[in-house]
């Protein structure tokens, strides 16, 4: 692959840059089918899909990046503004994302586990393969975008580079036909004893009873050894089929892979409208429609789950009042059903007071009590002791945005990290005064299933 690193460190304040995008159709039905061929050619890959909307994006390499070590992610808005002010738009494509990336959960514990991932990382990819209804309404066809950022555009050189890229992409597509399917198995190697974790839940409940906290979300991490080569097209064929209403994602950085299937929208920007949701409170699925409905009624009537849910709603409303006009909220929680679990869901929306302030708005609500707790600062301190591990990208932010007021961010839950031959899966649950340690442990087992079920021979 052509090295895109040459343009990354350009000083935007000193160069008169022009940004160009060239698009061409490619063979194939799914962007996910190309991940395995590209992973041999690039240290950086970001895949995102929303199957229910027939939308997929596969970003490869980096043409330009925003990298920020500061946990105050609202600083990213200044970087976006600087980019807009110093880069001229040449041939560009509307209605698709420009930047893709992630921000970590603000863990107070730091570990080498996440050494290949920085705190905040948002890129314009060198290539973007996508399928989207917003592009000519041809959602069943794949397209490839090649991005250019240049201070001295040379039409002849661009034509040559564009032709070379088309050949390269065609080779990648052909390489996917040579991939061999493998049976990949995992064996559990490390997990806190269930009694130890349940005791942590009991300790958290005592903290809440003493009015030190309102709610805290405790997570587990479970480690497995992998046998065989992970074929990502197989992984996402299953995730996209089993969890069509989720945001399915992968970030490859160096030799490490972080991936998952998130049901939780953190924020969606639609020009002047912002949408988010409270997703908290859980129960298992039933064996048939009648049992499903009965369990949903139990979930809706549960004092514990309702309290956990309301804490998230209150947090969102309190913090969004500074950013939104005319906030609208569902009168009663909906039931969001996934393959293995049901959640209470309340949708919230409003008109933005300031456009193109993505991270200012997101920073005001993240981390929400649905994945951290309340009050936030005290909860983070308690997690340092109770969890005692670095969440990294787990329960962080994954998503994409453009410069036209369109952005979408999800909370990176139901997720795992693969590094070498080790898989680390994560799952958490909200603890309030009415919580029961045994039930909370069972809930984490349910939430591990979207990842664990992708592999065989789990014990």
Q: Report residue 442: phi and psi, to 5°.
A: -60, -40
The token pair at 422 is 């080790």
d(CA 104, CA 75): 15
Instruction: Could you list the beta-strand ranges (E) of 151-264.
Output: 185-190, 215-227, 247-253, 256-262
Candidate list 62, 104, 200, 215, residue with the active-site label: 215
The torsion region of residue 295 among left (phi > 0), alpha (psi -120 to 50) and beta comes to alpha
d(CA 225, CA 432): 34
Residues 57, 254 contacting (CB under 8 angstroms): no
d(CA 83, CA 13): 9
- In sequence order, which residues have a C-beta less than 8 Å from that of residue 283 and are 6 or more positions away? 295, 296, 298, 299, 302, 305, 341, 342
Q: Report residue 348: phi and psi, to 5°.
A: -135, 140
The token pair at 455 is 């592999």
Candidate list 119, 264, 406, 443, residue with the active-site label: 264
Active site residue 357: no
d(CA 172, CA 176): 7
Give yes or no for a cis peptide into 75 (omega within 30° of 0): no
> Could you give the maximum distance between any two Cα atoms of the chain, in Å?
71
d(CA 442, CA 459): 16
Name the β-bridge partners of 351: 273, 325
d(CA 414, CA 410): 11
- In sequence order, which residues have a C-beta less than 8 Å from that of residue 419 and are 6 or more positions away? 113, 116, 255, 256, 257
Give, to the nearest 10 degrees, the angle between helix 303-320 and helix 358-365.
140
Active site residue 458: no
DSSP 31: G
Looking at the annotation, which residues are catalytic? 215, 264
């Amino acid at each position: 692959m052509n090295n895109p690193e040459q343009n990354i460190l350009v000083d935007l304040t000193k160069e008169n840059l022009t940004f160009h995008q060239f698009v061409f159709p490619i063979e194939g039905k799914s962007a996910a089918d190309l991940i395995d061929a590209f992973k041999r050619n690039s240290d950086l890959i970001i895949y995102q899909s929303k199957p229910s909307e027939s939308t997929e994006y596969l970003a490869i390499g980096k043409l330009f990046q925003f990298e920020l070590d500061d946990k105050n992610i609202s600083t990213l808005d200044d970087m976006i503004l600087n980019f807009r002010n110093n880069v001229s738009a040449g041939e560009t494509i509307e209605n698709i994302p420009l930047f893709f990336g992630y921000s970590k959960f603000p863990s107070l514990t730091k570990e080498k586990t996440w050494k290949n991932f920085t705190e905040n990382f948002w890129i314009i990819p060198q290539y973007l393969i996508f399928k989207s209804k917003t592009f000519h309404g041809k959602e069943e066809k794949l397209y490839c975008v090649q991005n250019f950022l240049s201070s001295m555009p040379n039409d002849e050189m661009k034509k040559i580079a564009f032709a070379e890229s088309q050949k390269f992409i065609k080779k990648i597509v052909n390489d996917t036909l040579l991939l061999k399917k493998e049976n990949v198995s995992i064996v559990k190697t490390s997990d806190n004893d269930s009694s130890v974790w349940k005791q942590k839940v009991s300790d958290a409940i005592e903290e809440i009873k003493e009015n030190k906290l309102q709610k805290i979300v405790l997570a587990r991490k479970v480690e497995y050894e992998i046998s065989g080569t992970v074929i990502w097209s197989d992984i996402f064929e299953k995730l996209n089929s089993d969890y069509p209403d989720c945001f399915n994602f992968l970030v490859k950085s160096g030799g490490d892979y972080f991936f998952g299937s998130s049901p939780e929208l953190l924020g969606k920007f639609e020009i002047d409208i912002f949408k988010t949701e409270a997703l908290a409170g859980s129960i298992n699925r039933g064996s048939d429609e009648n049992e499903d409905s009965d369990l949903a009624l139990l979930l809706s009537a549960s004092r514990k789950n309702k309290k956990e849910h309301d804490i998230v709603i209150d947090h969102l409303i309190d913090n969004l009042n500074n950013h939104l006009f005319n906030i609208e909220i569902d009168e009663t929680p909906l039931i969001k059903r996934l393959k293995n679990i049901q959640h209470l869901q309340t949708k919230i929306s409003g008109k933005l007071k300031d456009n193109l302030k993505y991270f200012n708005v997101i920073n005001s609500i993240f981390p929400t009590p649905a994945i951290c707790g309340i009050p936030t600062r005290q909860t983070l301190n308690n997690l340092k002791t109770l969890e005692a591990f670095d969440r990294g990208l787990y329960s962080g932010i994954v998503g994409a945005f453009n410069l036209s007021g369109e952005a979408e961010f999800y909370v990176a839950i139901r997720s795992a990290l693969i590094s070498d031959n080790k898989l680390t899966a994560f799952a958490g649950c909200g603890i309030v005064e009415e919580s029961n340690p045994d039930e909370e442990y069972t809930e984490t087992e349910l939430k591990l299933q979207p990842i664990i079920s992708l592999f065989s021979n789990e014990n």
